[in-house]
Structures are given as C-alpha cells and as structure tokens.
Amino acid sequence: MSNVTLEHISVRKLSLDLPKSVEGSVQFPGIDSSSPAAGVSRGRYAPVPQNSVKEIAVGSKELAARLIHQNPSCYYEESDWISSHPEPTQDFEQFYHDRYRSTPTSQKSAIYVQPIGSFGDSKVSPENYLKWLKDYCEAFYYGLMVKILDPVPVSQTACAFRVNEYTHNLQIHAGDLLQFLKKRKPRDAFCIVGITMIDLYPKESWNFVFGQASLTEGMGIFSFARYDSDFYSASYKGRLKSGKKYPVADYSVFSGYYTPAITSLLLLRSCKTLTHEIGHIFGLRHCQWLQCVMQGSNHLEESDRRPLDLCPICLRKLQSAIRFNIAERYKALLRWMDDVGSGTEAEFGHAAESCSTVESMVMNIQWAEP
C-alpha cells in the first residue's frame, strides 16, 4: 500500500529536524518535484504562473478569457504551502493523461464516509452534521452517490493510541485506521474515507498529522480535532493528565472523551478538507493557478483562506472524470447552502454567506453549456 501523508501536517516535535524527503510532503508517483514547471515566472516566494499559461491550463482558450478573472491568484506568503513545498503545476492536459488518476466506473461509483469515534455533544446533532457533510460532498462530486456508514467506536478499529506528550490529548494511529478501512471498503466504492474528531498521529516520532491516505487504493483518514478553535488554548477540554499511561488495549479512555462542539466554522473547515482530499484520490494535484479548494495549506490560517469550491481549471479536471453538467452542479451547491443557512441553528448562516459567489456563477453559467 502506497501511503502519503497529507498537506495538513506538523512535525513540531521539539528539536526534530526532518529532511525534505520525509513522508511529510505529499509525493505523487511519476512526478519529479525537482523539475521547474514550464512557463512559470518566479514571484517573491514561489512560482506564479503567467496569465498565458493559466489560459492554456484551462484547456480551452474560448473559456479562459471568461473564467480567469473570476478567480484571482492568491499571494503566497513565506509560511504558505507552495513556498514550503515547491511542486510542478498540473494543467488539464497533464491531469487527463496522468496514468495515476482515478475515474469512477459504473461498478465503482460511490464515495463512502466512515465516522470513527464520537462526534460530540452540541446543539447541532452529530446526525445533522454528518448529513450536511454528506450532502455537500454529494453536490461537490455531483453525479456520484455519497454514503455515510454507521459510526464505529475507536475500540472496533483495534488501532493503537497514545497521549500526546506536548498537548496531552488522545491520539489514534492513522496507519492502523487505514488498515481498518481497507477491510471495510465496499465492492461498489470508488473510495472510502474515514473521519474522526480525535487527533491522529502517523508514527511515534511525529507530533500529529491531519490526515493520511493511500491514493492507489482509494482510502483516506482525516481528523477534524484541530479545527476546534480552542484546541491550542490552555483551557482545551481534551487535555488529559500529563504523564499518565493507559493500557494498550484499554479503550475505555475514549468513553466520554471530549470532542469539539459542531460550529459553522468547523463545518466549513470539514467540508473543505473532505472534498480536497477526495480530490487527490481523483488525481488532482495541488492547485497553483487560482483561488481554489485544491490549493495546499501549511497552516490553519492558510486553509481558512481557501474558497469552498474549485477554480475553473480544477473544475474542468473533475468534470472530465465525472461528466456532470456544470450548471446543475452549481445549483446543487446552492441548494445545500440554502438548506444549511435556513436551519434552526442561526449560526450556520455563516456557511451560506461564505459561499455567496457561487450564486453569481450560476446566474452567469451560460458559458459552461456546450
């Protein structure tokens, strides 16, 4: 199984100095990360594609002129992903001819989401939260069915776990969870992804990891624990007593363990992460063209800057894989926003407000029709 550790990573274990070749950076087979991308000019900290290259990347000059101005390029700060992890760009033709990209088939067309552990107590029920995630993912990957599997307790996964020596919160082993998902992957699955509110770690020498995946086997596991606004505060309720050891197979520690309240901000962050990482399973690499949910992120502030949806270049990549009607896809996204924004919990109106640009794209969707 070929595993990659996703971009939301931290190796901030004290005095830990890792080489660039460590599994912390996302590596895709067949890509020479040392080769500069053709037609790319150097910005202050990172390569910024020229407008002419962006137009070619869309794959159609006729569409490019109408699209490029709607999704302006981001300015890359020194601490951002693209500055820390230089990667070749991927235009539409490169994506289309990439032998490692995955395409759903009539026999394998469902996206399965496996919740692991508790999803907390808050005024928004876990059932509503999972339904919103499912519905958003189904609108984003329009034409594919998204199925939420019954939640399983941590004990059922038989995964290793530990208490982080710095943040003193519980963590579960990402690799063990991938093995668990591999055994549960349904026959009709295009991919299966596990989600959890418990922090992850990939191996003992690492502080934590937001997620890990096997792209070749269509699996991934992602944690939303650190999307809690209070995670890094001294008052975080998930902290356990420093230095306390727990028996290897005693999963009782997870009974009643704190999980963050479900808020509009956590929902937005969860939607971005889930669709971004499934995009990698399709073969979409990190976007360096325009503002896009497929842009990499090195830290939470950068992740929050990303929009919820794809840029025109990555949208064409996904459309070529699923063959959806672009206008109908945007209408489905709007329906999701209306549903979330009109819920009984007024705070979720923030989610709809954050996506208001999608409505204008639907109003001007004529360009997308053949």
Q: Which residues pair with 169 in a beta bridge?
A: 239
* Position 351 in a domain: yes
Nearest to 275 by CA among 85, 102, 113, 104: 113
Q: What is the CATH number of the domain that holds 235?
A: 3.40.390.10
The beta strand positions in the chain, using DSSP E, are 3-5, 9-10, 40-42, 47-49, 110-116, 145-148, 161-163, 170-173, 189-196, 199-201, 208-209, 211-214, 219-223
pLDDT at position 349 is 47
* Position 202 in a domain: yes
* Dist. CA 293–CA 32, nearest whole Å: 23
The type of residue at 321 is A
CA dihedral sign of residues 363, 365, 367, 370: negative
pLDDT at position 34 is 31
pLDDT at position 57 is 57
Q: With contact defined as beta carbons under 8 Å apart, do 259 and 197 qualify?
A: yes
pLDDT at position 47 is 43
* Position 243 in a domain: yes
Determine the 3-state secondary structure of 192 from DSSP.
strand
Q: What distances in angstroms separate CA 2 from CA 81, 112, 216, one per listed residue? A: 22, 20, 7
**Do the bridges between strand 47-49 and strand 170-173 make them parallel or antiparallel, or are there none, so unpaired?**
unpaired
Nearest to 309 by CA among 141, 153, 146: 141
As a dihedral over the C-alpha atoms of residue 229, residue 235, residue 240, residue 242, rounded to 10 degrees, the angle is 120
pLDDT at position 95 is 93
Helices of type H across 141-293: 154-157, 174-184, 264-282
Q: With contact defined as beta carbons under 8 Å apart, do 257 and 296 qualify?
A: no
* Position 62 in a domain: no
Q: With contact defined as beta carbons under 8 Å apart, do 43 and 52 qualify?
A: no
* Position 160 in a domain: yes
* Position 212 in a domain: yes
pLDDT at position 48 is 47
Q: With contact defined as beta carbons under 8 Å apart, do 114 and 193 qualify?
A: yes
pLDDT at position 151 is 94
pLDDT at position 197 is 94
Q: With contact defined as beta carbons under 8 Å apart, do 144 and 111 qualify?
A: yes
CB neighbours of 228 closer than 8 A, spacing ≥ 6? 236, 260, 261, 266
pLDDT at position 16 is 26
Determine the 3-state secondary structure of 213 from DSSP.
strand
Task: Output the six-digit token pair for 312.
Answer: 């025109």
* Position 82 in a domain: no
Residue-number span of the structural domain to which 287 is assigned: 1-16+99-294+320-370
Active-site option among 93, 277, 302, 369: 277
* Dist. CA 357–CA 237, nearest whole Å: 36
pLDDT at position 37 is 32
Give the pLDDT means over successive 10-residue stretches in the chain (370 positions): 41 28 29 31 41 56 50 64 79 90 94 93 81 95 97 96 91 96 97 96 89 89 90 87 72 90 87 92 89 83 82 92 91 86 50 52 47
Q: With contact defined as beta carbons under 8 Å apart, do 326 and 332 qualify?
A: no
* Position 70 in a domain: no
pLDDT at position 187 is 95
* Dist. CA 54–CA 318, nearest whole Å: 17
Does residue 353 have an active-site annotation? Answer: no
In the block, residue with structure tokens 């509110």 = 197
* Dist. CA 35–CA 88, nearest whole Å: 7
Nearest to 140 by CA among 293, 8, 7, 286: 293
pLDDT at position 343 is 53
- What is the number of structural domains in the chain? 1
